[in-house]
Amino acid sequence: MTYKENEKKALIEVAHIRKEYPLGDETVVALKDISLKINKGEICCIFGTSGSGKSTLLNQLAGMEKPTKGMVKIGGVPISLLTEDQLAKFRQQHLGFVFQTYNLLPNLTATENVALPLLFKGVPKEKREKIARKMLCRVGLSHRLDHFPKQMSGGQQQRAGIARAFITQPAVVFADEPTGNLDSKTTVEVMEMICSFAKDFNQTIILVTHDPEMASYADRVVKLIDGEIISDTIVSH
Ligand code: ADP
Ligand code: MG
């Protein structure tokens, strides 16, 4: 099925997801019958305490894992049914990721790290590095273009991580505890940066956090307890 960016229906549709993990002789039920619709351009926070199932839900939404039961569609494409190859391609074309631990490649400079998603899209070196430098300037790193990750602070590495996530203008950006390792001032900067990119290009953000401060940046907060949605609230700004 082809991807439809401007479908009238929700951009992300989750129907009756259940996720079980085998653990020794037992089974951990991490998600129980989750159904959810997320619109294009929405900043949606998945909120809950540690162990409530937030990362598990994000992993099913982004196609990183297959649900035990149920279906996930993005842009009308049933990603829970795609093969690994189809999924990898789908992620490159439509999805971006921001990680708690930044996940920059240690042997590449900031510019090379940010340019990486464009390499996978076949953009020539000179062009992709030019776009990467522009992205890095936008996140306030014009003075760190040729630095390696270990030569940058956590906040700087995360800004580079954000530039990398948004460089292909993906329809959806997933962020799992993106400020989990940052101080409160840097947290504000990083969240404002993510929201500003998202609003410019009407992108959808799935933000996973346990921090109520972070949830205040979202348009909507979906709260999980023990693998179940216990509330789904629109945030008034
Ligand atoms: P959160 O991100 O909200 O902290 P998780 O989604 O990581 O929570 O985990 C939800 C539940 O599923 C927890 O009880 C966790 O121990 C369990 N879990 C997560 N991943 C696995 C796994 N790979 N194997 C077994 N249990 C898991
Ligand atoms: Mg988690």
Cα–Cα distances (Å) from 147 to 47, 130, 189, in that order, read: 34, 16, 20
Ligand 1, closest atom to CA 56?
A: 6
Ligand 1, closest atom to CA 57?
A: 6
61 near 42, Cβ under 8 Å?
no
d(C-alpha 88, C-alpha 231), whole Å? 32
Is it the case that residue 97 has pLDDT exceeding 60?
A: yes
CA of 102 from ligand 1 middle (Å) equals 21
Q: Is 6 in the pocket of ligand 1 (CB under 6 A)?
A: no
Average pLDDT of the chain to the nearest whole number: 94
Ligand 1, closest atom to CA 50?
A: 4
Q: Is 26 in the pocket of ligand 1 (CB under 6 A)?
A: no
Region 18-45: what's the mean pLDDT? 96
Buried-exposed string 20-49: b where 16+ CB fall within 10 A, e elsewhere? beeeeeeeebbbbebebebebebbbbbbbe
CA of 211 from ligand 2 middle (Å) equals 12
Region 105-120: what's the mean pLDDT? 97
CA of 50 from ligand 2 middle (Å) equals 7
Q: Is 24 in the pocket of ligand 1 (CB under 6 A)?
A: no
Residue 102 falls in which region: left (phi positive, over 0), alpha (psi -120 to 50) or beta: left
d(C-alpha 158, C-alpha 207), whole Å? 15
Is it the case that residue 34 has pLDDT exceeding 60?
A: yes
| Predicted local confidence at residue 231, as pLDDT | 97
CA of 219 from ligand 1 middle (Å) equals 26
Name the residue of 18, 21, 61 whose CB sits within 8 Å of the most ligand 1 atoms, as the mutation to test its pocket: 21
More confident residue, 6 or 193: 193
99 near 176, Cβ under 8 Å?
yes
Is it the case that residue 80 has pLDDT exceeding 90?
A: no
Ligand nearest to the CA of 49: 1
Q: Is 31 in the pocket of ligand 1 (CB under 6 A)?
A: no
Region 63-89: what's the mean pLDDT? 94
Is it the case that residue 3 has pLDDT exceeding 90?
A: no
Closest CA to 129 of 144, 146, 112, 117: 112
- Give the percent of the chain with pLDDT over 90: 91
Q: Is 100 in the pocket of ligand 1 (CB under 6 A)?
A: no
Q: Is 46 in the pocket of ligand 1 (CB under 6 A)?
A: no
Region 55-77: what's the mean pLDDT? 96
| Predicted local confidence at residue 61, as pLDDT | 96
CA of 142 from ligand 2 middle (Å) equals 32
Provide DSSP, 20-53: EEEETTEEEEEEEEEEEEE-TT-EEEEE-STTSS
pLDDT digits (tens, 9 = 90+) for 175-220: 999 999 999 999 999 999 999 999 998 999 999 999 998 888 999 9
Is it the case that residue 7 has pLDDT exceeding 60?
A: no
